[in-house]
Structure formats: structure tokens, C-alpha cells
Amino acid sequence: MQTTFPRLMLEHAAKRPTAPALREKVYGIWQTLTWAELAQLVRDIAGGFAAAGLKRDDHVVVVGDNRPRLSASMLAAQALGAVPIPLYQDAASTEFVFPIVNADVAFAVVEDQEQVDKLLEIREQCPRLGRLWYDDPRGLRNYSEPGLASLDALIEEGRRFNRANPGHFDAELAKGQPQDVAAMFFTSGTTGNPKGVVHTHFTLLDRAKAGADFDKLSEREEVLAYLPPAWIGQNIFSYAQWLACGYVVNCPESAATVTIDLKEIGPTYYFAPPRVFEGLLTSVMIRMEDASAIKRGLFHFFMSVAKSVGPALMDGKPVSVVDRIAYALGNLLIYGPLRNTLGLSRVRVAYTAGEAIGPDLFRFYRSIGINLKQLYGSTETAVFVCLQPDHEAKADTVGVPIQGVEVKLTDSGEILIKSPGLLKEYYKNPAATAEVLTADGWYHTGDAGFLDAGGHLKIIDRAKDVGRIMGGANDGAMFAPKYVENKLKFFPHIKEAVAFGDKREKVCAFINIDFEAVGNWAEKRNLPYAGYTDGPEARGVRADPRVRREGQRRSGGGCDARRQPDQPLPDPAQGARCRRRRTHPHAQGAPRLHRRALPVLVDALYGGRSEQYIETQVKFEDGRTGMVSATLKIADAKTFPTMKKAA
């Protein structure tokens, strides 16, 4: 699109001034901001920024949950030619230092006291950070830090500036061009310092428009913005596509009210990573275990009908009259109430991405009438690379390349992308830019995959992680750890899994159980436990031999144990079955264990031991560190013979 974000906002304000642009839930009541009100708010904030000295190409950090005035602050910065940089609101203060210093940030807009405290804590390490504004004043009345003020004060200053300089906003807006830098998104930095992914107005809006055209989105859509704004996926859905289409973005009151707010809004366009869909389904299955025998019977009967009929109906395939009647009855009694309970009763298009979603999980949502699809993209590609057409949604693909996208594979199987939405560069990092962008415009995704006969892209794993089994009956078989891990995680009692096998004769895995699901399972079977882990005084549910036996039964073959616990793995993972597994003492709030971590445990898995004592340091989400120790049981998993290919 040959325009900019602020210009799109003003176009909506001119054409539909009284239409709702943003909603925010405050003290349980939804407050609406119209397009005309948003345009005025953006002008006022931009005036305040200008009075504070913000100039073209300056960087502005924005930290917080999805809030209308934070979105308006981003638009205001862009209107002046400045570049907003959203950062993750749940990051520790030390994680802010590199992006702020790297981007020479002098201005910041944050949500509340928590974020103010974080930035004040690191202020000495960020000498250029001079001005800081906050949206929510609670707890900040007695703060008297230099350069700290409320957004209300900034808006008042902006009104005075605009009265004194009536043409300033429009003059600066007119200077903006589609190829100007619009935003910067910092990657997670798991293997080093984060990298600032630079995007222009054109790259972001072009992909937003391509995605909107693909799914025929309009201004009538309702979106719930509940994921971190610093993640480009949320930014595309609740900012770029919001301005490209003009639909309504709804901001929940807090993370704790998202489930309630989802039901109240009833979004028509919805995105969630697989873990959210997994959590919703797990909560449904737990509630069904507590239901009466009659309700459980009805649920399972009609879910079997949905499983056999629902996907065909979603894909527009012919279904017999009897099956249509049975499905309609199930929709009245089970599927409709279930969609309403989940808050997805009005969803027209739902997407998931980020991780592979289990086939049974995928089919479950489609079978009850939710148009759940998968997409493929990344921060560097402005999200939209491949999308699934409505009648071609498959559990094992991520869709077809959409308008403007070209896909090709290297000899090693790595996926290369050419698209109008590719990043401009990694900020101040030409070496990293050269690693991912070729001279002729191809982007190295780092993912391994292939295109099937129908033109759908299949992702196997990260290219650097794909290996080979060496030795034994499966010598030379492809080993894609993520493929095995995702198959293991399809079982609702397994929360995380890490698989090993490259250059080895067999596959082994670490497993972390889902405490809520396994706790409910144990209660139903009268298994006593006092917590999650083992301890000198308390019995952990993880230590119960019956829990271990259940995990051992389910983990064999890396199978989809939610429905078919004895189903072996299909291609391309023949031979990559889980032979041994162990349960990891995951601390609440600790990060996921990486497959390259804890070599002593890997040695124990392949050394044939039945248990192993470990002691390791973990870093919690709040920045604290601690020690975790346990004697872990290691067991052989049930395995299956390799499937023979049809002649």
C-alpha cells in the first residue's frame, strides 16, 4: 500500500468519524474511542512529542499491554517521522537496556507504575533516556523523577503546542513516505543480543493488506488484542490490519479477564498460538470429567459425529442427509454452547502460528464449526508468507504462498522467501542482515520444509536442528526433533518435550507434565500427592509410579495420544520414535529447557541408566535465579514397528 499508518488513520476519521476504532475495558465497562476522537488524540500527543523535542527518525520506546493511548502514541510518533519500538511488557528491566542503548532512545511511553519502575531502575545505563510518560497514574502520585510525566500532561502540552503551531502536524505528516521506517521489533536474542528488525510503512501495510484480501476482511470485524504488542503478530493483527481495514480492536482490562472479555466481545477475527487453543481444550476436557454421566455420554457421542462430519462440512465437501441432521442436532446441543463457552461463537476466521498444532487439536476446533487455519511467517517477513484457504485447511501444512510471495528450497531443504514484506535491515547490524538477505532479495528463513503436490508448504523443523539417525534398523532416517516434540505435546498431560537423536541410534526425550491436567487425572483415580515435584516431606504427583506409567505408555512413538495412543508416526519421521524418556522437574515460571541443555541428562538417557540426580540453576520470568535439584527416573517408552510404505 502506497501510504502510511497516520494517513490511513485520518482517512478512516474523515470517512467514518463516529464509527468505533478502539475499545478498552475499564473497571468492567467497555469504553469506546471513535475514529474522530482517535485522530484528535493523535494530534494532541504528536504536539506534545514535538514540544518535547521529538524529531524525524528519532526512536520512541512503547511498553505495556494493548491500550488505546499507547496505540495513539505510536501513531503520533509515526506522524512526526519518528520510529516506535514496542518492547515486551513482561520482560525484566535488564532486558530493556540493550534495545534502548542500541537504538539511542531518548523518549519512552509506558503503561503503568510497573514499567516506570523498570525504566527508572536502568536509567543510569541508558544515559539518553530523558523523557518518560505513563498512561495509568495509579501509584505514581508521589514520583518526582526528572523527565517523568503523565500522558495527560503530554496531551495538554500538545494542545498548547498545536495552538501555537497550527500547521506543524499536517506539515510533518505530509513529509512521510511509504518507504520510511515505520517501526522496529527486537527479536528474542536467545543466542546473543537481540536484533532490531526494521520495517517500513510499505512492508507492514503491504502484508497487512495482502492478508486482509486473502480472508476478505472488512471494517465489520471485531478483534481482541490480548497478546504482547511487541510481538509482530499482535502488531499486525491489532495495528497494521486494523488501519488497513478499519475494523474495531478491543483491549481487555487485564490478562486475568481475557477469557471473560473474549466471551463479551465475540471476535469475528481471532488469532492465538497453539498453547492457547491447547489450554482452552484442556479446560473443556477437565470440566467434562466433572460432568454427569449423561452429559459425558452426549458429549462423546456428538464429538464422534463432529469428528467424522465437521471437517468435511468446513471444507465444503458433500455429506449425507443423515450426517447433516446428526451434526445439526449436535450443533444445537453441544457445538454451539461449546463455541459460546470458549468465546468463539462469532469467529469467521481464526489463525494459529508460531508452533505446530496437533492434528487432533486442529480437527477438534474445525469439527465444531470454528474456521481455524494455520499461517506461516516471521518478524522479518511482516508475518504473512503462507496462509490456508478456507476449504484447504490441513493440519500438517501452513498454507500456500499468498499474493506477492515466492518460495524456493535450497539443496539442504531450507526455505527461502521473496516478498514485498521483507525487513529493510537489522538495525546497526549489517553482518546479520547479509546472513539472511541475499543480493537478489531472498530471505533465509532458517526453517526446513517442502512444498506438497497441492502447493502447500510443510515445515519440518529448524534447518540447523534437522539431523539423521545413525546406526540400527533406521540408519540414515531423517530426524526432526520439533516434529517428535510436537507429537508428544499433542497428549494433554504433556506440557513440554525436548527430543534428541541426531547422529544417534535411537531417539530419547525429556518430558514435562502438565500439572493441572495430571493433577485432575490423579484426583479422579484417588492418587494422593502434595505438589508437583518430589521432596523430603511432600509426595510429588510427578513421582507417582502410575503417573510415570501413563507417561511411558503415551510417549512411545511420539504419538498423538489425545485420541489414538497407539498410532505410530507417519513420514517424514519414520524411525524417529521415542525409545527412552524422562520427566523434567520444571519450576513454575522457569523458561523451557533447550535440547542443548543439561548434557549430563542426555548421557544418562543414552547410557541406559534408570535414574539420574541433577542440580541446575534456572532463571525465572521475574529475573530471579534459583537452584532446582531432583533424582529423575528414566524409563523405556513403548515403541512401534516402522510403517511400511505402500508399493
Q: pLDDT for 209-221, tens place per residue?
A: 999 999 999 999 9
Give the residue with greater pLDDT, 61 vs 544: 61
CA distance 227 to 242: 15
Give the residue with greater pLDDT, 568 vs 614: 614
Q: Which of 118-127, 181-190, 383-392, 478-487 has the lowest mean pLDDT?
A: 478-487
Q: Which of 113-122, 479-488, 573-582 has the lowest mean pLDDT?
A: 573-582
The overall average pLDDT reported for the chain is 86
CA distance 580 to 499: 10
Which of 41, 6, 76, 65 is CA-nearest to residue 225?
65
* Start-to-end CA span in the chain (Å): 50
Mean pLDDT for 281-294 is 85
Scored b (16 or more CB within 10 A) or e, 82-106 reads bbbbbbbbebbbebbebbbebbebb
CA distance 145 to 142: 9
**pLDDT at residue 301 in the model:** 95
Q: pLDDT for 465-481, tens place per residue?
A: 777 788 776 776 667 78
Which phi and psi (to 5°) does residue 140 adopt? -115, 10
> Band of the pLDDT at 545, cuts 50, 70, 90?
low
Q: Is the pLDDT of residue 593 over 90?
A: no
CA distance 488 to 501: 15
Instruction: Read off the C-alpha cell for 327.
Output: 451434526
Q: Which of 77-81, 379-383, 584-588 has the lowest mean pLDDT?
A: 584-588
The secondary structure of 344-409, three-state, reads CCCCCEEEECCCCCCHHHHHHHHHCCCCEEEEECCHHHCCCCEECCCCCCCCCCCCEECCCCEEEE
Q: What is the number of residues in the chain?
A: 647
Find all residues with CB under 8 Å of 56, minimum gap 6, and list them. 80, 81, 82, 172, 175
Residue with cell 544418562: 604
**pLDDT at residue 518 in the model:** 77
**pLDDT at residue 279 in the model:** 86
Q: pLDDT for 595-623, tens place per residue?
A: 444 677 788 888 888 888 878 777 776 66
Q: pLDDT for 229-278, tens place per residue?
A: 999 999 999 999 999 999 999 999 998 999 999 999 999 999 999 989 98
Give the residue with greater pLDDT, 190 vs 501: 501
Q: Is the pLDDT of residue 112 over 90?
A: yes
Q: pLDDT for 4-30, tens place per residue?
A: 999 999 999 999 999 999 999 999 999
**pLDDT at residue 625 in the model:** 81
Q: pLDDT for 40-59, tens place per residue?
A: 999 999 999 999 999 999 99
In the chain, % of residues over pLDDT 90: 62
Predicted TM-score (pTM) of the model is 0.79
> Band of the pLDDT at 288, cuts 50, 70, 90?
confident
Q: pLDDT for 552-564, tens place per residue?
A: 555 554 433 222 3
**pLDDT at residue 604 in the model:** 82
Q: Is the pLDDT of residue 542 over 70?
A: no
Q: Which of 126-135, 195-204, 285-294, 410-419 has the lowest mean pLDDT?
A: 285-294
CA distance 208 to 483: 29
Q: Is the pLDDT of residue 286 over 80?
A: yes
Give the SS3 label for residue 448: strand
Q: Is the pLDDT of residue 295 over 60?
A: yes
List of domains in the chain: 5-196+229-250 (3.40.50.12780), 380-463 (2.30.38.10), 472-636 (no CATH)
512 vs 488, 533, 548, CA distance in Å?
10, 11, 11
**pLDDT at residue 595 in the model:** 47
604 vs 482, 581, 612, CA distance in Å?
21, 10, 7
**pLDDT at residue 15 in the model:** 97
Q: Which of 71-80, 352-361, 483-492 has the lowest mean pLDDT?
A: 483-492
Cβ(25)–Cβ(252) below 8 Å: yes
